[in-house]
Amino acid sequence: MYEDLKIILWPDPRLKKVSRDVTCFDDSLKSLTDRMFELMREHRGVGLAAPQVGINLRLFVMNPSGLPEDDRVYVNPLLSEAEGEEEAEEGCLSLPNISANIWRAKTMVMDALDLHGQKFRQEADGYLTRIWQHEFDHLNGTLLVQRMGPVAKLANRKIIKELEEKYAAEHGIEPKARKKRKS
């Protein structure tokens, strides 16, 4: 059913949409998350949100360790009780070969549903909350590029430009005209 899904890349407009709640908890949802785990592992990621495969649903999968028993699915997640702040390097499967130091809350609470529509709550800190926040951003149409500071944008501008040009070429879009600098 979802065999043809692939990870979509910046600047695909589907990545910038706010996702809608999941309302149907059936075998199709399980098939979608199975395929998302396959893609996440294939691309060596630790998390993958449904918008990153072109599906506009509030859903993400993650696995911080790579061990099968650490697979986690979060449906219609809500983050709260953010405390502290820390900066660390992040990458994104929709922005390959790009990384930047991003500030995130250090500890958080996650309320979500599982694949059967059952509510659960988790508290975490550090790496887990970083993954949560990154994937939650995807559900709200926010990408790493939008969280980067000016130095990180400058450092990654060549790769970002290449992704934009590739997308334009694949979709028959005229590349953006370069702004002329005033002297």
Number of helices and strands (H, E) in the chain?
5, 5
Look at the alpha carbons of 2, 38, 44, 139 in this order and tell me if their dihedral is positive or negative. Answer: positive
81 part of the active site: no
Residue 166's SS3 state is: helix
Burial (CB < 10 A; 0-12, 13-18, 19+), residue 125, is: middle
Could you say which of 81, 85, 135, 170 is catalytic? 135
Paired with 75 in beta bridges are: 59, 113
Query: What gap in Å lies between CA 105 and CA 66, rounded to an integer?
Result: 23
Residue 100's SS3 state is: strand
Pair type for strands 72-92 and 95-113? antiparallel
Supply the residues annotated as catalytic. 135
